[in-house]
Structure 1
Amino acid sequence: MAPTYLLSFLAFLLTVSPTISTNSEGNALHALRTRLLDPTNVLQSWDPTLVNPCTWFHVTCDSNNHVIRLDLGNSNISGTLGPELGGLKHLQELYKNNIQGEIPEELGKLKNLVSMDLYGNKFEGEIPKSFAKLKSLKFLRLNNNKLTGSIPRELTTLSNLKVFDVSNNDLCGTIPIDGPFSSFPIQSFENNNRLNGPELQGLASYDFGC
């Protein structure tokens, strides 16, 4: 039998320790909060001592208390995204505003993601090839950022993708024509001065101008 004082001490830890009382999704979101600048304190409800983040503002959960939607739009929040978002395994919708830096490869772990709206931010770097793992994805909007590099050919395997918009970036190479890309309008790619297309048959693996 453990001494009474030891049992009391363990009970105390369970009530005050954020790393014990918060679930993994709450930990992921709290880690994200440390990367964000929040001048109007709209994330003050993101309290790591709570059992789960389903009561936090800008967070939506399903009936099983899993985070399925994260929406920080129109909240005057800036900063960067980090790999911790890959821990939100049940996330279905992701919306951001005024975010900069590179898009984390770890977003490719969000297998349940249906909608990713990262438009109108200040993202730089390339579109992650890991997005090809998002087989449930229907909407991918990355327009109005500062993205560079080519459109990953791996994205042509996203058979459920209905909307794709990378306009107003600095992408290069050629526009894919396979898979869902055969139906996307040219407006989805406009204002990328180094982007050519649609690509020629037989030259799909070659990126012109990158």
Structure 2
Amino acid sequence: MASPSLLSFLIPLLLSFSSTISTNFEGNALHSLRTRLSDPTNVLQSWDPTLVNPCTWFHVTCDSNNHVVRLDLGNSNISGSLGPELGELKHLQYLELYSNNIGGKIPKELGMLKNLISMDLYGNKFEGKIPKSFAKLKSLRFLRLNDNKLTGSIPRELTTLSNLNVFDVSNNDLCGTIPVDGPFRSFPMESFQNNRLNGPELKGLVPYDFGC
């Protein structure tokens, strides 16, 4: 059995090692993101994968344990696409990628970010459906996907997001009906305008994806 003095030495060492492994995973995930993006104004120039962790990179914020909690790349003139590696940012709370030219599908792996509070992807060129996996984001308060090229219906699974305060999907190409349960009771109609939506859902009368 290890002596108390040995344990007092090993425990902080193991915790530090665990934190380093975690931040390395996060750094690798962010570097993978960088390889998917075109960056004509070099806003990602500081993203050096040889560093121990990404906490010194511009537009990246870490907590006291060196976990990435915020990614701020809004209005950065970047283009390209997102990949599944973003799901590795387990501690991320704020994902701010608004007002760029990022396209392709929104990765379903973003639904793995259980600590996420705000996701701002508006003002890009995202296409395809809103991932149903977003229903796993139980801490989410702000979800802004407006001004993209999203199609399909609004996933009914999102009605379980009890903490969701702001939801905006205006100016897309969504179809079907607007959910009326959970937090969707309080969202203004402006959050849904300029789509192919057929108004609020009429339960028992027409399918929620009517018109898709």
Partner of 1:201: 203
Tell me how far apart the structure 1 counterparts of residues 198 and 94 of structure 2 sit (CA, whole Å).
30
1:5-154 alignment to 2 at 5 Å? 23-96=24-97, 97-154=100-157
Q: 1:88 to 1:204 in 2, by over 3 A?
A: farther
Question: How big is the shift at 1:44?
Answer: 1.3
Q: 1:109 to 1:130 in 2, by over 3 A?
A: same
Question: How big is the shift at 1:40?
Answer: 1.7
Q: Is the 8 A contact 1:176 1:204 kept in 2?
A: no
Coordinate RMSD, CA, aligned = 1.5
Q: Could you say what secondary structure the match of 1:23 adopts? A: helix
Q: Could you say what secondary structure the match of 1:148 adopts? A: strand
Give unmatched runs, 5+ long, in structure 1. 1-19
Q: 1:200 to 1:23 in 2, by over 3 A?
A: same
Aligned residues, how many?
A: 190
Give unmatched runs, 5+ long, in structure 2. 1-20
TM-score normalized by structure 1?
0.87
Question: How big is the shift at 1:42?
Answer: 1.6
**One of 174, 183, 196 as aligned partner of 2:177:** 174
Tell me how far apart the structure 1 counterparts of residues 26 and 207 of structure 2 sit (CA, whole Å).
38
